[in-house]
Amino acid sequence: GDSRVLDDEGRPHPRRFALGPFTTARSSGAFTRPRTGGPAFRQNDAAARAALAFLRDHSCRGRLAS
Protein backbone atom coordinates (compact mmCIF):
# COMPACT_ATOMS: atom_id res chain seq x y z
CA GLY A 1 0.00 0.00 0.00
CA ASP A 2 0.85 3.64 -0.02
CA SER A 3 0.67 4.09 3.79
CA ARG A 4 -2.73 5.77 3.82
CA VAL A 5 -4.67 5.72 7.08
CA LEU A 6 -7.82 3.59 6.84
CA ASP A 7 -11.22 4.52 8.24
CA ASP A 8 -13.52 2.20 10.23
CA GLU A 9 -14.73 0.56 7.02
CA GLY A 10 -11.23 -0.03 5.66
CA ARG A 11 -11.31 2.79 3.10
CA PRO A 12 -8.13 4.84 2.66
CA HIS A 13 -8.32 8.44 3.82
CA PRO A 14 -7.48 10.73 0.88
CA ARG A 15 -5.12 13.01 2.83
CA ARG A 16 -3.74 11.05 5.79
CA PHE A 17 -0.63 8.92 5.68
CA ALA A 18 1.10 6.98 8.46
CA LEU A 19 4.71 5.84 8.65
CA GLY A 20 6.80 4.28 11.36
CA PRO A 21 6.83 1.54 13.96
CA PHE A 22 3.24 2.01 15.16
CA THR A 23 1.67 1.01 11.84
CA THR A 24 0.76 -2.42 10.48
CA ALA A 25 3.48 -2.23 7.82
CA ARG A 26 6.21 -4.83 8.03
CA SER A 27 9.59 -3.69 9.19
CA SER A 28 12.90 -5.40 9.59
CA GLY A 29 13.29 -4.16 13.15
CA ALA A 30 16.83 -2.98 12.49
CA PHE A 31 18.46 0.03 10.92
CA THR A 32 18.39 -0.07 7.13
CA ARG A 33 21.57 0.99 5.39
CA PRO A 34 21.31 3.58 2.58
CA ARG A 35 21.35 2.33 -1.03
CA THR A 36 20.23 -1.17 -0.02
CA GLY A 37 16.57 -0.87 -1.05
CA GLY A 38 15.42 -1.79 2.46
CA PRO A 39 11.72 -2.13 3.34
CA ALA A 40 11.63 1.13 5.32
CA PHE A 41 12.95 3.08 2.33
CA ARG A 42 10.48 1.40 -0.04
CA GLN A 43 7.60 2.20 2.32
CA ASN A 44 8.67 5.84 2.62
CA ASP A 45 9.13 6.12 -1.15
CA ALA A 46 5.64 4.72 -1.80
CA ALA A 47 4.09 7.12 0.72
CA ALA A 48 5.97 10.07 -0.78
CA ARG A 49 4.82 9.14 -4.30
CA ALA A 50 1.20 8.88 -3.11
CA ALA A 51 1.39 12.22 -1.27
CA LEU A 52 2.96 13.95 -4.27
CA ALA A 53 0.33 12.46 -6.60
CA PHE A 54 -2.40 13.73 -4.26
CA LEU A 55 -0.87 17.22 -4.25
CA ARG A 56 -0.49 17.17 -8.03
CA ASP A 57 -4.10 16.09 -8.55
CA HIS A 58 -5.52 18.58 -6.04
CA SER A 59 -3.26 21.57 -6.55
CA CYS A 60 -4.59 25.07 -7.00
CA ARG A 61 -3.34 25.49 -10.54
CA GLY A 62 -2.79 29.08 -11.50
CA ARG A 63 -3.84 30.43 -8.11
CA LEU A 64 -0.29 31.21 -7.05
CA ALA A 65 0.85 32.50 -10.42
CA SER A 66 2.10 36.07 -10.35
Does the structure show a pLDDT above 90 at 4?
no
Q: How far is CA 14 from CA 6, 11, 26, 53, 60, in A?
A: 9, 9, 22, 11, 17
Does the structure show a pLDDT above 90 at 9?
yes
pLDDT of residue 45: 87
Question: What tens digit of pLDDT does each residue of 12-60 get?
Answer: 888 888 887 777 776 666 677 777 878 778 888 888 898 898 888 887 6
pLDDT of residue 66: 43
pLDDT of residue 30: 67
The span from the CA of 62 to the CA of 53, in Å, is 18
- Would you say the C-alpha torsion 13, 15, 16, 20 has a positive or negative sign? positive
